Amino acid sequence: MSSTTVAPRWNWAFFDDLRPLDLYDILELRSAVFIVEQSCAYQDADGADRVSHHLWSRSDDGSVNAYLRVVPPGVKYDEPSLGRIVTSAAARRTGLGRALMREGILRAEALYGPCAIRIGAQRYLLRFYEEFGFVSTGFEYDEDDIPHTEMLRADVARA
């Protein structure tokens, strides 16, 4: 799938409504990138998936090529958050990551109304997230030996 010429077909489900195949393929992508590619042994299944909505797309070959979860307020942060934001290696630099972020923000706002959204961003991606209105809170931390920065996207309706 060339996301620069073809709009992604988004899939959206609450955890309880995920089909086993979809869940497997989502976890396969998260594992491939966050554990294998980034050489980071960590506990991916953190309990937040069970209360989250999940957004993903598939490539022409059927594999999941982009994914994020919308975590409700009060689970990770006071605000709703976007997490486990990932694109497959083959989908990078095609525009799919930007499309994923735009869609994720829209879905979060559809669920929770105009609101602030918080993320924990890998530090090397700060400029990417700034494109979507996220601003560093100044809180920096190390998560599984990867530098992270907490970022907040203000409630644009009130900003």
- The domain over range 11-113 is classified in CATH as 3.40.50.10790: no
**For a pLDDT cut of 70, what percent of the chain falls above it?**
94
Q: What angle do CA 130, 156, 149 make, to 5 degrees?
A: 35
Domain ranges of the chain: 11-113
Q: Which two tokens stand for residue 66?
A: 């982009």
pLDDT tens profile 57-71: 999 999 999 999 999
Coil/strand/helix, residue 93 = coil
Rounded to a whole number of angstroms, the distance between the first and last alpha carbons of the chain is 36
What pTM value is reported for the model?
Answer: 0.91
In sequence order, what are the beta bridge partners of 142?
A: 147
Q: Look up residue 18 and give its amino acid.
A: L
User: Tokens in use for 98?
Assistant: 């930007």
Q: What is the mean pLDDT of the chain?
A: 91
Q: Which long-range contacts (CB under 8 A, 24 or more apart) does 140-147 make?
A: 143/42, 144/40, 144/41, 144/42, 145/40, 146/38, 146/40, 146/122, 147/122, 147/123
